[in-house]
Amino acid sequence: MLWLLVCSLLAMLLPMSGRGTAAGAAVLIDDLTDWSKVYDRSDSLSLRSFPDYPAEDPTRAVPGGSGGEYVTYRTKDPLRSFAVSAYYSPAGGRHGHPTFYVSPDGMTYSPVTASVYENGGYLQAVSYEANRLPPDAHYLQIRYNARSAGEPPTLGKVVLNGPGSVQSSLPGGLVPYGSKVVLRSETPGVTIYYTTDGSDPRSSRTRRHYGGPIDVLDYMELRTCAVLTGTAASRVSLYRYVPLPAEDEGRIGQVFEDGFVDSGVPQAVYGQTNTLLLKKFRSREAYLKFRLPEVIGEGDTVTLQVYGYAADSSRQPAALKLYSVSPAWSEGTLTYANKPLTVTGSAYGAAPPSSVGGTVYGGSSPPSVGDEVYGQSSSSTTEAVYGQQPVSGSSTVTGAAYDPAPSTVTGMTYGKLLDSLTLDYGPSGWLQFDITAYAREARQHGLTEISLALVNETDGMTFLGSRESGATAPFLLSSPQVKEGFTDGLETTGRIHSRSNVYLTGTDPDYYGGDTGRLARTSTAAGWVIYRSDEDIRSVTMTVYKYVAAGGDKFRLYGSKDGTVYVPIEAEAYGTNSSAGGWLGYLYEAVTSEEGIRYLKIELPASTDKPWASQLAEVTLNRSTASVQLSSTRTAGGLVAELSSAAPGAAVFYRLGGGEPHPGAHGLP
């Protein structure tokens, strides 16, 4: 049974932003190439060039080291918001966050609380943002605290009265299947863009304009940004989602052994650490054993889910590869010298150690320059991997204890590449690898457990949660095949049953929320498309765009049981806050309870001229839930709000202020 989760349409009907930057306020962007945009500052501050990293902030303000240093900005228009980029040294320890003050006259300052966003990366990028500042604010002062409060950052780009970053109603992580993501910005008048293919929404040609809730039906890497016309975009917010089936019993395969190996300490055992390390240098590889999910239905997919991030002085993105390996190892004795995966020696240059004799620990070398593992303290440079005490298995690599005997399971394939991904630097999140074919092969051979190896083909050190890490431990997920419904992005006409007086177009996608696949009419007469479904059609959503100056009627929907006789289907249309080049976007929703409807006809309205002025951008059947409707009743006890959805059996969730979503929808005072 699929969960029907509804996000209130209030979030979509109201502006996708709150109070914040005043309309018309001049935006100040200071890249700190010089001090010309700074009103006042401490003389001990200096500007320093960092041409290599990060590319977004090659010049930054560096504190002199004494507490109380400051930078002050002044705006002609009221100061309504600010966003400040900062960077902390990887080895700097506790962050000494700056404090922020605003003033109406540059003399009397009041503190303001900024939201802090950890953006990850080798230099540990942090963004500070604040909106809803006092209406008379014209000065912003950024103050450094004393070093006793923590390591001070270098300051990068400062943006005043610019777009605030995009917030999601759903935190990234493990979420129920069918959850909906509602995006918003605190800044009025922004356009929100997003991508789900890993590209940058600030510039990607595949970016989409946000017009309504986004369904989480598969693993999703959601990147978002907000744009104000004529200004720089906000920071990119990243959310990774793993949808869990509503009926997840038997669909989770738990990790029961894991560890990593390191050629720099070939006899060391790392089977009880909280973090698995992956890096080409010193051939750090991770090994994992799982119990297969009990339920793997026909058409299901089986994926490996690991939680982590990449960060390294090499600044190389991680290139992770997943292999099948023999299960003839255990985390209590696994070392580089007896690891089951052998293809990596030639695959990415992992040279074997020159000597395997001697004691287990005494021959280990301290990390080389540029290979520091920051945040993992070590009391001795001879400890294997910086403070993670290895477990002794043997003093040599010879003997039965290290016999990597191959599996006796006939027909199983080991050392095979299963999946790969590139991991850029950023905040921690869940990463997904597809192992469906390997899991099915193991099942066919009667196995209930499988073994996997993860390697990194670059020096972009990757940190993954291990079995011992608790909530971020790796696991296998068996996801049922989604048999009902589909979404047609209209990149082709392949899903359309029949059509008349329409053609595909993808020109000027920025006018249409980034949609590169749309249908427009070939003449001023009405056009139509027909979809056929193998199941009864119960819900329809579609995105359309209309050229405002052309006017014209609404789109119309019709349903049929046999493809011959059609009857009207009532639909609600909502504005999506999409406006560009004279075009407006609308979201249409329809729910029908009549049984047997298998055909949907969408009519593009006729017009007296401009046949291109009404365009159909996306159609979704049986994968959406009707939005929440709000009604209110005045009683003796006050105003009572009632929330409801036209979708049968839908569970309504609501949010009060900035709190957590609540189930239920009745009698809200």
Assigned token pair, 550 = 């052309």
Tokens 């992956």 sit at which residue?
Answer: 278
Residue 572 CB coordination number (10 Å):
14
**DSSP letter, residue 613:** G
Contact 571, 646 (CB under 8 A): no
Query: pLDDT per residue over 574-587, tens digit each?
Result: 887 666 788 988 98
Give the model's confidence band at 54: pLDDT under 50 very low, under 70 low, under 90 confident, else very high.
Answer: confident
Residue 595 CB coordination number (10 Å):
8
Q: Domain 252-366+373-479 belongs to what topology?
A: Jelly Rolls (2.60.120)
User: Distance between CA atoms of 467 and 259, rounded to whole angstroms?
Assistant: 9
> 486-621 maps to which CATH number?
2.60.120.260
Give the model's confidence band at 4: pLDDT under 50 very low, under 70 low, under 90 confident, else very high.
Answer: very low
User: Distance between CA atoms of 231 and 194, rounded to whole angstroms?
Assistant: 17
Q: Which of 166, 181, 183 is nearest to 228 (CA)?
A: 166
Residue 551 CB coordination number (10 Å):
11
252-366+373-479 has the same fold as 28-160: yes
Assigned token pair, 165 = 């970053």
Q: Which of 455, 413, 421, 456 is nearest to 438 (CA)?
A: 413
Query: pLDDT per residue over 127-138, tens digit each?
Result: 999 998 999 999
Contact 286, 453 (CB under 8 A): yes
User: Distance between CA atoms of 375 and 385, rounded to whole angstroms?
Assistant: 12
CA 501, 504, 508 angle in degrees (round to 5)? Answer: 125
Give the model's confidence band at 207: pLDDT under 50 very low, under 70 low, under 90 confident, else very high.
Answer: confident
Domain boundaries, the chain: 28-160, 252-366+373-479, 486-621
User: Distance between CA atoms of 266 and 365, rounded to whole angstroms?
Assistant: 11
Per-residue pLDDT averaged across 105-118, rounded? 95
Give the model's confidence band at 454: pLDDT under 50 very low, under 70 low, under 90 confident, else very high.
Answer: very high
User: Distance between CA atoms of 112 and 128, rounded to whole angstroms?
Assistant: 11
> 28-160 maps to which CATH number?
2.60.120.260
**Sequence-separated (6 or more) residues with CB below 8 Å from residue 392:** 269, 360, 361
Please tell me the pTM assigned to this model: 0.76
Length of the chain in terms of residues written = 669
Assigned token pair, 304 = 């490996």
